[in-house]
Amino acid sequence: MMSTPRNKGSHNLKTVSEMSLTLYQRFISWLVGPILWISVIYQMGGFWLLIPCLLSTTFETLVSFAGFGKSVMNANNVRQSTMADVRYALTNIRDSAEEIALCHGESREFHRVSRLYELNLRASWRAKLVELRKGVAVGPLLYFPQSSFGSFYCLTCQRGHFKWGTPRAS
């Protein structure tokens, strides 16, 4: 099919419409999802279960953003960039193998790719360590709602005051 301005226009229109639909779906998911979870938690345990859950989620978000906001993304970007450099160098060697062999450049190319691979390994370890630090910092916060539910609501659950598992009066 030949590329014409008309084809490009229809392609651009299709791309824009798909992007706007995706944006709309993400917005609805972002807005409706938390509201539904809040209503489920409130119906299950009431206000006193909702408050610890909201506080722990807010605190976890603040710790993640304040402590690790850009460092996780930067570490992953560096890792991906160095891996792309290694792939490019290997592709370049494959494409230029004859020229490299004729010029006796095997040693030079080997050392260049080895250095790039070493940089990629360092970047991968750095990314893993940043993710590990984040996991250690945020990890205990993930269990806060469960532990508070278990400790504070054990008696309430034994008395049958929660609203699940009991028949509703008509």
Report the share of the chain in percent with pLDDT over 70: 76
pLDDT recorded at residue 116: 94
In a domain, 115, yes or no: yes
In this prediction, residue 10 has a pLDDT band, given cuts at 50, 70 and 90, of low
Q: Say yes or no to pLDDT of 66 above 70.
A: yes
Residue 33 CA to residue 57 CA, distance in Å, equals: 14
Q: What are phi and psi of 64, to 5 degrees?
A: -65, -45
Q: Which domain holds residue 134?
A: 46-159
Pinpoint the alpha helices (H) of the chain: 5-45, 47-68, 71-95, 97-102, 106-142, 144-152, 154-159
In a domain, 5, yes or no: no
Q: What is the pLDDT of residues 76-98, one digit of tens each?
A: 899 999 999 999 999 999 998 88
What is the reported pTM?
Answer: 0.53
In a domain, 14, yes or no: no
In this prediction, residue 145 has a pLDDT band, given cuts at 50, 70 and 90, of low
In a domain, 104, yes or no: yes
Domain count, the chain: 1
Q: What is the pLDDT of residues 86-140, one digit of tens each?
A: 999 999 999 988 888 888 888 999 999 999 999 999 999 999 988 888 888 777 7
In a domain, 143, yes or no: yes
